[in-house]
Amino acid sequence: MNVAVDFKNVDIVFGADTNASLAMLDKGATRAEILEKTGNVLGCAGANLTINEGEISVLMGLSGSGKSTLLRAVNRLNIVSRGSVMVKDGDKMVDVVSCDEATLRRLRQHQVAMVFQQFGLLPWRTVEENVGLGLELAGMPDAERKAKVGKQLDLVNLTPWAKKYAHELSGGMQQRVGLARAFATEAPILLMDEPFSALDPLIRTKLQDELLQLQKTLKKTIIFVSHDLEEALKIGNTITIMEGGRIVQSGPPEDIVLRPANDYVRDFIANVNPLSVLTAWNVMRDRRDLEDAGEGWLWLDRRKTTRFKIDAQGLVAAAERNGQPAVWVSVDEIDKSADEASHVFWAKPGTSLKLVMLAMHRSQTSPVALFDDQSRFVGAIGIRDVLSAVLRR
Ligand SMILES: Nc1ncnc2c1ncn2[C@@H]1O[C@H](COP(=O)(O)OP(=O)(O)OP(=O)(O)O)[C@@H](O)[C@H]1O
């Protein structure tokens, strides 16, 4: 995987004479102490974060935790006091903190585009002129630009509005223009600072879906600031949680939900429904951890109701439930199958936990077996595994 942005030991202090503040920081002073002593605000401290190409990386945290501060360091809208921010520029990495002005200008024009919370549309320009702004600034010829803008407007269903001015559009539409503008630029890296937070929940959900849809084809690297965990879980491949200017946890959404690093993160996830995040893979027991039932058989559950005989290729040769031969049925067939005590449901590891639970419900709490793409048995989920995940114990 290629790295698109790499924050290395980034400290950002706002104010004059940052050296004194940095010296205090090194001695372990808190943000409040630095503010009191020097009048400077510690924006972020000791930030290390690697963002891979093509991923949506969400920065999360309470107000003032430093999310925007870190984001704005990527195109040097914020000056980094110490550390480096490496940004992919063609086939090399450039340190935005120390690069010269010409390089910075080129990066801003061609590598890194920004979408603000306040749409940032120019009122004297039409929708299509707004979408084409970045391309115009980058010097793209007229015909090429018009074609590109047309395509982007189509993608966000705004073609009929192309000739309208910003004030003639609703807030949600304006933000869609903002999205189209950012996606229209050639820039492979997008910075999005709470782009949807001013919108009402329904439109917000729609735009999140639209973003995910656009991302499927365009595969940009997106750094997205949000203070809404539901939003972060929905769109993020990685979530980074910040507290008081520091990164406290970074990882895939299910990691954050299953293994919160501290009470601050735990508070964030307290109201998240784990069923909307977790997959079978997150809660299963690996086949190597299942109890041996002798002669090539493995128990799928601790209660020993269900067992599989696995052949040398890892395929299931026979299945038994409550001492009787059983048939294994895909969870995709769940609606077609009657409640049958002799059924054992199977699923792929990426199946949602919700569907796994439905299968358990249908089969009178029998375990669910997991198979990989080559039909090999990879593990099983018993009722206790589900309860542990849902109760986070
Ligand atoms: N240009 C600036 N000058 C001085 N202080 C700043 C500046 N920008 C941010 N700060 C301070 O840095 C700290 C972190 O702010 P930041 O905007 O990064 O937080 P945030 O997590 O994005 O919060 P929010 O969700 O409210 O936008 C805050 O205490 C803020 O007041």
Residue-wise pLDDT tens digits, 229-248: 889 988 999 999 999 999 99
- Give yes or no: residues 260 and 158 share one domain: yes
Does residue 139 lie in a domain region? yes
Give, for 71, the enclosing helix (H) or strand (E). Answer: helix 67-71
Confirm or reject: Cβ of 349 under 6 Å from ligand 1. no
ipTM of the complex: 0.93
Confirm or reject: Cβ of 41 under 6 Å from ligand 1. yes
Mutate to test the pocket of ligand 1, among 21, 36, 41 (most ligand atoms within 8 A of CB): 41
Render pLDDT for 173-207 as a digit per residue (tens, 0 to 9): 887 788 788 777 778 999 999 888 777 777 788 88
- Give yes or no: residues 143 and 91 share one domain: yes
Query: How far does the centroid of ligand 1 lie from the alpha carbon of residue 66, in Å?
Result: 6
- Give yes or no: residues 75 and 163 share one domain: yes
User: Which residue, by CA, sits nearest to atom 6 of ligand 1?
Assistant: 14
Does residue 19 lie in a domain region? no
Does residue 208 lie in a domain region? yes
What CA–CA distance (Å, rounded) separates 278 from 359?
15
Signed CA dihedral, 269, 273, 276, 278: sign only: positive
Query: How far does the centroid of ligand 1 lie from the alpha carbon of residue 15, in Å?
Result: 12
> Is the distance from CB of 115 to CB of 74 less than 8 angstroms?
no
What CA–CA distance (Å, rounded) separates 134 from 347?
46
What CA–CA distance (Å, rounded) separates 87 from 49?
12
Confirm or reject: Cβ of 14 under 6 Å from ligand 1. yes
Would you state the structure tokens that stand for residue 145, as one six-digit string?
């630009």
Confidence of residue 98 (pLDDT cuts 50, 70, 90): very high
Of the candidates 278, 283, 251, 246, which has an alpha carbon nearest to the alpha carbon of residue 264? 246
Confirm or reject: Cβ of 61 under 6 Å from ligand 1. yes
> What DSSP character marks residue 287?
G
Q: Which domain holds residue 105?
A: 3-8+44-272
Average pLDDT over every residue of 54-80: 94
Residue 90 contacts by C-beta under 8 Å, 6 or more apart in sequence?
none
Render pLDDT for 272-329 as a digit per residue (tens, 0 to 9): 777 777 889 888 999 889 998 888 899 998 888 899 998 888 888 899 988 888 888 8
Does residue 29 lie in a domain region? no
- Give yes or no: residues 286 and 268 share one domain: no
Give the other-Cβ count within 10 Å of 235's Cβ. 21
How many structural domains are present in the chain?
2
- Give yes or no: residues 101 and 203 share one domain: yes
User: Which residue, by CA, sits nearest to atom 19 of ligand 1?
Assistant: 64
- Give yes or no: residues 139 and 226 share one domain: yes
- Give yes or no: residues 114 and 137 share one domain: yes
